[in-house]
A and B are shown apart, each in its own frame.
Chain A
Amino acid sequence: MNTMRVSGISEIMSLVIMLVIIIVFMGQASPVFMTTRNLENMLLDISTVGILAVFTTLLMIGGGLDLSIGATLALCGVVIGALQTTLGILPAAGLALVVGALVGLLNGFLVTYVGINPLITTLGMLSIARGLAFVFSDGLTIPVFDNDGTQQAAYDVFTQFGEGQVLGIATPVFVMLLLFGIGLLILQFTAYGRAMYAMGGNAQASHLAGLAVRRYRMIAYTLSGLSAGLTAVMLTSRLYAADPRAAMGIELTVITSVVLGGISLAGGKGTLIGTALGVLVLSTLLNGMKLLSTSTDAQNIAQGIVLLLAVGLDQLRTRNINWSKWLRGSRLLPGAATPSKASASSGSD
């Protein structure tokens, strides 16, 4: 049983080694890579993915999945852009958070109470959210700035979210680090964190042990939506614009990072440290490629390959993942689970 622990550590080690290799390689390949400016930019770029990755990690440990985060991000951004004049920029930002949370809540409701498979639910929601983003913005990028000069003070505050600094670190980066820290504490020491591991490991047994599985699941999805809203605020602030096309494909980056870091699609496994490293490895790789002027498409190819390698190597190492298990919907109806779907071996020895 201590083999579990050992493989966990070696996963982390291999990620660290990968990171070091990438940094060294990129440092050699591009003179710009190791400059402070590039590193700062890189961290800023990472912040969006990083913040989303924290909440995605928590959700996925609990056995959930949210493919709609990119679309929700775009929608929340558009909300800010569309309502900045009527509501004022700060209330609009607040509303964006609410919208994000609501989308997450709706996802959670459909998965938990109606019982729709999370893949379908979040795919459908993705479509709806992205569509609404386009509807509310007429398909155009909305500039976010003080149109009539009356909200100077408010906008100054707003721009702090994306451009400001806290303790000498860019705000988005600071928020990301803070969230990682809080997330770590939550997973290790709190009931919520343990609930995620329990639910992800065996939702049925957790339910029968009296765990409020439904409630925790709703919270997890709501938080996922909220994270999209949060990153939307920061992104809009940094770019001075709300783009309905924003964050297309960010789900792939987030999921790749998270899976790279050791999160299992079936749930019940993984740590935030792994995720952090996964985010770092992938983003450093992509940043390096960008510096080497590789096209976005090549970067996408790279992402896909990294994902396959990450999971493939993991498979070769552990060889015991029940790959069809995760696709089952999140049914909480207790009673005899269909026996044939019980995990592999019979007998208890």
Chain B
Amino acid sequence: MQQTLPVSPPSNKVVQLGRWLRGERLTTLNLFVTFVIICIIFASQAQYFLTLENFVNIGRTLGVVGIVSIGMTLVLITGGVDISVGSVAALSGVITSILWLQSGVPLGFATLIGLAACTLVGFINGYLIAFVRINPLITTLASFSIVRGLAFVLSNGQTNQLNDDTFKLLGRGEIVGIPISLLLMIALYVAFFALMHFTQFGRNLYAIGGSPDASRLAGIPVRRHLLIVYTLSGFLAGLAGIIIASQLASSAPRAATGLEFTVIAAVVLGGTSLSGGKGSLIGTLVGVFILRVLDNGLVQTRVSSFYQDVISGAVLLLAVGFDQIRLKLTSSLGGKP
């Protein structure tokens, strides 16, 4: 005679409350509230903050961080990390300018080769992580160093001008007043969101991060997925690098220094967990938004640029800290291991 098994935790108020408090909805709500508060503070301190022109400015700077954050989100969801993105971004600009200025390669091709090189770096990262099984932090720490060094060596430490009008369009151009880079970013977000939520591949990434063992046992080709994810990260970083070069109309080996920190901060802020298996692109987008607005606001209120790093760091720690405390305090409310 079959008995029915106990129903999943009874739907009483406490348990539901506990679940809600631990859930992502609250994180996003938190973020939204933080965002609003920050905007209010800045609006009160700087008169130009709430202007359309300023928003367009913000929109222009969103592109770079936003695009790299896509790759970083995916990487983090699989339980890894990629701290080489800044160096890779610089590399694409450097390679593009060298090929164009010194070897006479048409700018279009040069850009593509630069992108390809960055994708290759991502591929190598992915290979070392997935197949040689080197810890992602160490692998990308090493490539962070190597790629940055390469950027300097290849460019001889020089900043090169990239004064081509078509090229500058990518970073500076607008369509109906919206920066092209922003449009590109949005398009990519939509595409990747679909990937993560509607395709097997995307769900597999969550599975891999949640339990590499379960994924392996279920027959998911884990290593292949990881390889692809890091390659994507490299590609997106390279793309961002091209945009940077386009915006500055120059390539510098020093470009995008510190980008990895900003990106990781944005992604973690957005609710993606460093241990993997959890995270959303929407959250990342919000995180990117918040950090960019923060940056912009600090400039608008004429805070010394030195304080910007301090405040970014503090915001990251506070946000993640509060989230952790929330999780701890609510972990005992219903439906627990």
Contact = CB atoms under 8 A, between A and B. Distances in A.
**Would A and B touch once assembled, by the CB under 8 A criterion?**
yes
Contacts of A338: 337
A134 B141 CA distance: 25
Q: Helix, strand, loop or mixed for chain B's interface?
A: helix
B141 A307 contact: yes
A295 B149 CA distance: 9
Interface stretch (A48-56, A88-96, A166-174, A324-332): A324-332
A119 B317 CA distance: 11
Give the most central of B304, B310, B331: most A CB within 10 Å: B310
Contacts of A305: 142, 146
A117 interface: yes
Interface in B296-337: 304, 306-314, 316-317, 320-321, 324-325, 327-328, 331, 337
Contacts of B308: 131
A123 B264 contact: yes
Interface string B153-169: 10001000000000000
B145 A344 contact: no
B144 A304 contact: yes
Contacts of A191: none
B132 interface: yes
Given A301-B146, A304-B142, A327-B274, A131 B135 contact: no
A311 B310 contact: no
A252 B141 contact: yes
Contacts, number: 171
A108 B42 CA distance: 32
B79 A327 contact: yes
A307 B149 CA distance: 14
Contacts of A328: 275
A335 B337 contact: yes
A312 interface: yes
B142 A308 contact: yes
Interface stretch (B31-39, B46-54, B191-199, B207-215): B207-215
B274 A125 contact: no
Nearest to A65: B137
A340 interface: yes
A134 B310 CA distance: 10
A12 B136 CA distance: 25
Interface string A104-146: 0000001000111101110111111011101100110000000
Interface string A37-73: 0000000000000000000000000000000000000
B149 A298 contact: yes
A248 to B, nearest CB: 10
Contacts of A303: 142, 145
A311 B138 contact: yes
A333 B325 CA distance: 12
B142 A128 contact: no
Contacts of B288: none
Contacts of A132: 310
A298 B153 contact: yes
Contact of B275 (A126, A131, A135, A329): A329
Nearest to B324: A115
Given A315-B132, A316-B132, A329-B274, 9 more contacts: A115-B327, A116-B317, A120-B320, A131-B306, A135-B304, A252-B145, A311-B138, A326-B135, A326-B137
17 contacts: A117-B274, A120-B317, A127-B316, A134-B309, A252-B141, A297-B152, A298-B149, A303-B145, A305-B142, A305-B146, A311-B138, A316-B132, A323-B135, A323-B136, A327-B275, A327-B276, A340-B213
